[in-house]
Structure 1
Amino acid sequence: MRFVEEIVVDDFLPTFRSMLAEALRERGLTQSEVADLLGISQSAVSKYVHGDVERNAVLLDHRGLNELVERLAEGLADGDMSPVQALVETEILIRELEQGGLLATLHEEAVPELAEHGSEFAVHDPDSKLRTAERTLSSVRRGLQVLENTSGFATLIPAVGSNLAQVLPSGDSVEDVAAVPGRILDVKGRATIPGDPEYGVSEHVATVLLAARTAGSDHLAALNVRYDEDVVSALESAGHTTVEFDPEAGIETAVADALAEVPDADVLYQTGAMGVEPVVYLLGPDAVAVAERTRELL
């Protein structure tokens, strides 16, 4: 009898740690710094970097794992990501690979009887509320990293500030929306993010996102940027569907009326009113996709 956790310990961890240690060393970190970030000894780092640890060839070639390692190495080396954030993102990938992914396949190879099992087999429940909540927070963090690394994004921030938000798939209230506490502001030409994403800290962008979902949109994420005609035109030229809503009506009513006319819209905008700044809202399947769309405007 062999558990999937043993596959993680014996195959995944040595391969993952060696890949991450190697990537961090390539970015100029010392063995001591790598050891501190990974929570392991310097001698272990030396073994990982010099190939003295057996690595799983299949995991080495896994695209998702390679992308994760590069993202973590970049964030940890630059100081834009904490070890805790890196741990959360790694845990999420492990759970995904356990549930019908590569780790599940390796587990079935180690225990052939699992593949022959007549009923549906799930080594972990990927739909637990805790994991879903962590995946959503992780998506917002990655989206914020995209915004920070997008040259010129600060020019898209409206006077009221921007926020990047993503709601839980079954969420229906502001408490179910992960976003930046406060707002993303333009400080001397640089987008400044005041803190890590949390649940229940966005009011306006969360309200627009929830209103869109109530009106039938299946998008889970939203980002607000400044309005002008060129921004809307650029989005339309990039293939997005835009619709204007009334800034003087209640958000839920205004968004519902707009989406009733254009149900497949993924861009909502209003052109302002007395005391109301004109704003564009980008909608998308997740925070990363929405953040990446800003590059179409620069």
Structure 2
Amino acid sequence: MRPPCEIVVWYVIPSIRSELAKELLKLGIKQKRISELLDITQPAVSQYVSDKRGHGIKFDEKTQNMIKMLAKDLTEQELGPDRIIQRICEICKNVKAEEIICQLHKEKDKIPTGCTACLGSNRDSDVDYCI
């Protein structure tokens, strides 16, 4: 059984990167520059924009808007690596609130009904998990 943070690494972060790369491309940013902004390789950007990597999660409107705003901000101002990471973490936190991680965890690992390992299941709890 995988911990929820592994679901984030394998599915959520790649999906966020994919959507962000697509938004940057729509704004006229070249793949090479996108790779520099996101600190990933240009072939990875190519795979993200062609849905060969990081596709399959459908984000809600709020998450999509957060990704669009980050893409816009990346094109209009110089954001340092710490600020980019912070914004991606904010997007990831929003995804956790949607309980997408819990759904994926149950789907991928056949977690039994009633599992409370994922943060989304413990919103009112003082317990803080790794994701």
TM-score, normalization: structure 2?
0.76
Q: How does 1:104-123 map to 2 (within 5 A)?
A: 104-117=102-115, 121-123=116-118
Report the counterpart of residue 3 of structure 2 in structure 1: 3
Q: Indicate how the Cα distance of structure 1 residues 113 and 20 shifts in structure 2: closer, same or farther if over 3 A, else same.
A: closer
Q: Indicate how the Cα distance of structure 1 residues 99 and 114 shifts in structure 2: closer, same or farther if over 3 A, else same.
A: farther
Report the counterpart of residue 13 of structure 1 in structure 2: 13
Which of 45, 65, 73 does residue 71 from structure 2 map onto? 73
- How far, CA to CA, are the matches of 2:118 and 2:59 in structure 1? 23
TM-score, normalization: structure 1?
0.37
Residue 47 in structure 1 maps to residue 42 in structure 2: no
> What's the CA shift string for 1:2-41, capped at 9, x where partnerless?
2212211221122211111111111121212111110001
More strand by percentage: 1
Measured on the aligned residues, the alpha-carbon RMSD in Å equals 2.6
**DSSP-derived class of the 2:107 partner:** helix
**One-letter amino acid of the structure 2 residue matched with residue 76 of structure 1:** L
- How far, CA to CA, are the matches of 1:73 and 1:96 in structure 2? 17
8 Å contact kept, 1:4–1:103:
yes
Q: Indicate how the Cα distance of structure 1 residues 42 and 68 shifts in structure 2: closer, same or farther if over 3 A, else same.
A: same
> What's the CA shift string for 1:79-122, capped at 9, x where partnerless?
154342232122133234335622122212333434334xxx25
Measured after TM superposition, the shift of residue 75 of structure 1 is 0.4
More helix by percentage: 2
The structure having more radius of gyration, on CA atoms, is: 1
**One-letter amino acid of the structure 2 residue matched with residue 102 of structure 1:** I
- Structure 1 unaligned residues grouped into runs of 5+: 129-298
Q: Indicate how the Cα distance of structure 1 residues 97 and 114 shifts in structure 2: closer, same or farther if over 3 A, else same.
A: farther
Q: How does 1:40-189 map to 2 (within 5 A)?
A: 40-53=40-53, 55-56=55-56, 59-79=57-77, 81-98=79-96, 101-117=99-115, 121-124=116-119
Report the counterpart of residue 35 of structure 2 in structure 1: 35
- How far, CA to CA, are the matches of 1:106 and 1:116 in structure 2? 14
8 Å contact kept, 1:4–1:98:
no
